[in-house]
Chain A
Amino acid sequence: MVMEIKDQDYSVVYDEASATITCDGLMRLRGTEEYAPIVALLDQVKDLAPATITLDVQNLRFLNSSGINVLFKFVIDVRELGKSELVVLGSSLVPWQGKSLKNLQRLMPQLRLKFI
């Protein structure tokens, strides 16, 4: 099963075989309402509860505040459910990721972060 949301500027794709959510492009949606489909996809993945969920944002060049909030909530939800490990793949070439991805570990200390 592959779940995906694609837009001109961004895409969010879940590949079940590798339990990987890949977010690419520029995400600058407005507020909770516009992020709802993405939140729904993330929720589904959390409920599928694979042993390890990989979140690959290496090519997510821009993410606004509403977007980072969606990621924060997802990390909290996965932590609270306690069924999956979380691995986040980032890129050291994308300036915002340096600080904000490290911050994910403040919400979930056992989260594994890899900068590629």
Chain B
Amino acid sequence: MADVKPPVGEMSLQAELAMLREQVARLEREKADLELMAEMTTEHSDEVAEEMEDRLRVMELLQQEQAREGWAMLRARRQGKMGYIFEEQRVQVLHAHPQPDAATYLVPMKVQQGQVVGMLGVRNDPAHPLLAEERALLDALAEQVVAALDRVRLFEDTRRSAARDQIISEVSARMRASMDIDTVLQTTIREIGDALNFSRVEVRLGEVLSEGTSEQ
């Protein structure tokens, strides 16, 4: 059977045209929305990425600062012991930085954040200067030394903070166990003195106005 279309009147033709125009307008609006969304999504991603980068930078700075403090504390705890020197088959303590001299090849020991935390040096006889591969080997070794030192430092930090937490919890457990004020005060000073090896610890009630002045 042939497909016979009903005759189309002028009015319905116009109605169809109007409908099509409306469809086109809607599609154009959708297209505009989609284009705008694509643009704005990109902007959003950029914005978020930038924010993340900023935070990362701040974290890196904090980490650097923390590492710097950690190394400074480590040096302070070593009470002037700078390092060691191996000479004539003997290991000796270095109490001061050796004077720089041309016959010593020095490799800076750098931690991850680029901070130089020490030097590794070998005698470099001007008559037989170090070969490039020997220098490369020393560079690689300096990296390994600093990695090992950093691990020890972090381990010590962790151990110290664990020990501190333990002291706090032990002392406070004993103080909580006491039921009267005098026992609390006495336990406090005894425990702090024992745990932290202070030769003198005191605890008082009442306000002290300023250092050196007693209560009114």
Q: Which residues of A contact B (CB under 8 A)?
A: 62-65, 68-69, 72-73, 76, 95-96, 98-100, 103, 106-107
* B211 CB to nearest A CB, Å: 41
A95 and B47 in contact (CB under 8 A), knowing A106-B36, A107-B33, A107-B36? yes
A-B residue pairs in contact (CB < 8 Å), sample of 24 = A62-B48, A65-B45, A68-B40, A68-B41, A69-B37, A72-B37, A72-B41, A76-B33, A95-B47, A95-B50, A95-B51, A96-B44, A96-B48, A96-B51, A99-B44, A99-B47, A100-B44, A100-B47, A103-B40, A106-B36, A106-B40, A107-B33, A107-B36, A107-B37
B43 at interface by CB-CB < 8 Å: yes
Chain A residues near B43: list those with CB within 8 A: 99-100, 103
Chain A residues near B40: list those with CB within 8 A: 68, 72, 100, 103, 106
Closest residue of chain A to B50 (Cβ to Cβ) is A95
Closest residue of chain A to B55 (Cβ to Cβ) is A95
Q: Which residues of B contact A (CB under 8 A)?
A: 33, 36-37, 40-41, 43-45, 47-48, 50-51
* A86 CB to nearest B CB, Å: 15
* A2 CB to nearest B CB, Å: 29
* B40 CB to nearest A CB, Å: 4
Question: Given the complex of chains A and B, what is the CA–CA distance between A68 and B37 in angstroms?
Answer: 9
Question: Given the complex of chains A and B, what is the CA–CA distance between A99 and B42 in angstroms?
Answer: 12
Chain B residues near A107: list those with CB within 8 A: 33, 36-37
Closest residue of chain A to B30 (Cβ to Cβ) is A76
* B32 CB to nearest A CB, Å: 10
The one of A64, A69, A72 in contact with B48, judged by C-beta atoms closer than 8 angstroms, is A64
Determine if A68 and B33 form an interchain contact, defined as CB atoms under 8 angstroms apart.
no
Known: A62-B48, A100-B40, A107-B37. 10 other contacts (CB 8 A): A63-B44, A63-B48, A72-B37, A95-B47, A95-B51, A96-B47, A98-B47, A100-B43, A100-B47, A103-B44
Residue from B36, B41, B44, B45 whose CB has the most chain A CB atoms within 10 Å: B44
Question: Given the complex of chains A and B, what is the CA–CA distance between A65 and B43 in angstroms?
Answer: 9
Chain B residues near A72: list those with CB within 8 A: 37, 40-41
Question: Given the complex of chains A and B, what is the CA–CA distance between A62 and B47 in angstroms?
Answer: 11
Chain B residues near A103: list those with CB within 8 A: 40, 43-44
* A101 CB to nearest B CB, Å: 10
Chain A residues near B50: list those with CB within 8 A: 95
Residue from B48, B50, B51 whose CB has the most chain A CB atoms within 10 Å: B48
Closest residue of chain B to A95 (Cβ to Cβ) is B51
Question: Given the complex of chains A and B, what is the CA–CA distance between A64 and B41 in angstroms?
Answer: 9
Chain A residues near B36: list those with CB within 8 A: 106-107
Question: Given the complex of chains A and B, what is the CA–CA distance between A62 and B44 in angstroms?
Answer: 11
Residue from B37, B43, B51 whose CB has the most chain A CB atoms within 10 Å: B37
Question: Given the complex of chains A and B, what is the CA–CA distance between A76 and B33 in angstroms?
Answer: 8
Chain A residues near B37: list those with CB within 8 A: 69, 72-73, 107
Closest residue of chain A to B37 (Cβ to Cβ) is A72
Question: Given the complex of chains A and B, what is the CA–CA distance between A12 and B129 in angstroms?
Answer: 70
